[in-house]
Each structure stands twice: as structure tokens, then as C-alpha cells.
Amino acid sequence: MDQKTNAHVVSKAPMSLISPPMKKKRRSKKIFVLVLATFRSFQTSPAGRPRDTRFNRPNNNATRVTGTLFGFRKGNVSLSIQNTPKSTPNTVIELPIRTHVLFKDLSSTGTVRITLQCEKKPSDAQTQTALLENPNWTVLCNGKKGGCGVRRDPTEDDLAAMKLLHHVSMGAGVLPGKSDVDGSDGEITYTRSGFDHVVGSRDSESLYIISPDRPNLTIFFNRI
């Protein structure tokens, strides 16, 4: 059974399908405080008021998926979409957003809307590529254009992170990553939750975070 977790550090473990053992390890104080601040924002808005839940209401036509935003501390964040926490990612998109910047926005504002836009080709609609299979995206975060996102096949680092998280259905924290080589810069910060995947049309899909105790995180995919 999948288990929900609070902010924590997941220890490095062999690549296997068993739950990784916990192991205490010193972490960068700054990044750990940032993760804890993100979790505090799950409960209330920055002003202490109940959060606005307009963007994470359940949808009767939605499909439940697992979404993970993760990345090296000084690198860009990536989005992984899985059918279940234990399945191989269907989609991995590297976003032009620094990992520490995204976590700062989640902890300070409690509301993040990421929009990914791709170009509609003049080909016949029946032969149009499935929306989430488009390789290149223009990315906006809270309305500000951030650059280009790239869809990629899961790397060894991606798969290693997902295997360590295969028993985690909801949570945030730090994975060891390459910390044995690069120290704290090799750690992978993540936030993970269930999402409602809503298909509006052939050219429009959305991910709405499910839990009412999470920030207002919504991800839109549009072909324009």
C-alpha cells in the first residue's frame, strides 16, 4: 500500500523494488529548511488564511496520475508523470525553472501555475501527435515566460529517483542522488502528489493537484 509522507530525507538504496531503508545523513541546512517551509505552506496561505482551492477541485472526467517535480539543487526541475507511484514514467519534461526557485515559490506563495505550450502543426488533425508526446515546449510559470522545456526519455537518474519513491504517493523531501560524489549539490529535491489528469480536447490537457492539504499547483498543456 502506498504511504503518505511528510518532509523527510530518503536514504540511498540499491536499485530494487523494495522500500529503501531510512538512514540519517547530514543535509544542507538551507535546502532542508526550504522543504520544511514548503510543507508548512500546504496547510495555510502565507497570511495564515485557508488556501484557495479553486484549482484543485476533483473532476468527474479526470484520470488519477502521480506527478513528481524533482531536480538537482543547482539544476533545472523536471516533471515526471506516472500512472501509479510504482510505474515507469509515461512523460518526463525538463522545465526551464531552477529547482530552488520553484520550491521558493511553493513555500512563499502557495500557488504555482505552470503552462506548457507547443505549436500546432498544419497537418491533418487525425495525424496530430498526442499532446504530451510533443518534444518542445514554451514554458510559463505564474504567467511569466521562462524559456523552453524539453520532453525526454527517462534517464538513469530519473529512474533511480522514481524507484526510491515507489512507495511514496504524496510527500516532499531530498534524495541522495549523487551526493556521494558532489556533496549537497548532488542531492535531488522533490515534491510528489496525486493529480487529476483532465483532457479538455486534443489540444488541451491539465493536471490538478488532488489533496486539499497541498499548495495550489496546476499544470496546463496547450497546443496553440
Per DSSP, 2 falls in state: -
Copy the grid coordinates of residue 74. 543547482
Average pLDDT estimate for 20-26: 44
Closest CA to 135 of 91, 88, 78: 91
Residue 200 lies in a domain: yes
The per-residue pLDDT for 60 is 65
Residue 185 lies in a domain: yes
Region of poorest pLDDT, from 18-22, 173-177, 210-214: 18-22
Region of poorest pLDDT, from 27-36, 100-109, 181-190: 27-36
Span 47-93, pLDDT tens digits: 333 344 444 454 568 999 999 999 998 899 999 999 999 999 999 99
What is the C-alpha to C-alpha distance for residues 120 and 207, in angstroms, rounded to an integer? 20
Number of folded domains that form the chain: 1
Residue 190 lies in a domain: yes
Residue listed under C-alpha cell 534517464: 155
The per-residue pLDDT for 126 is 65
Copy the grid coordinates of residue 79. 516533471
The per-residue pLDDT for 50 is 38
Residue 8 lies in a domain: no
The per-residue pLDDT for 214 is 72
Residue 23 lies in a domain: no
% pLDDT > 90, the chain: 56
pTM over 0.85: no
The per-residue pLDDT for 125 is 62
The per-residue pLDDT for 59 is 53
Q: Is 136 helix (H, G, I), strand (E, B) or coil?
A: strand
What is the C-alpha to C-alpha distance for residues 182 and 213, in angstroms, rounded to an integer? 34
Residue 117 lies in a domain: yes
Neighbour tally for 24: CB within 10 Å: 7
Span 170-184, pLDDT tens digits: 999 999 988 777 778
Residue 212 lies in a domain: yes
Task: State which residues form the domain around 120.
Answer: 29-41+61-223
Average pLDDT, the chain: 79
Average pLDDT estimate for 147-153: 97
Residue 1 lies in a domain: no
Confidence tier at 124 by pLDDT (50, 70, 90): low
Span 128-140, pLDDT tens digits: 789 999 999 999 9
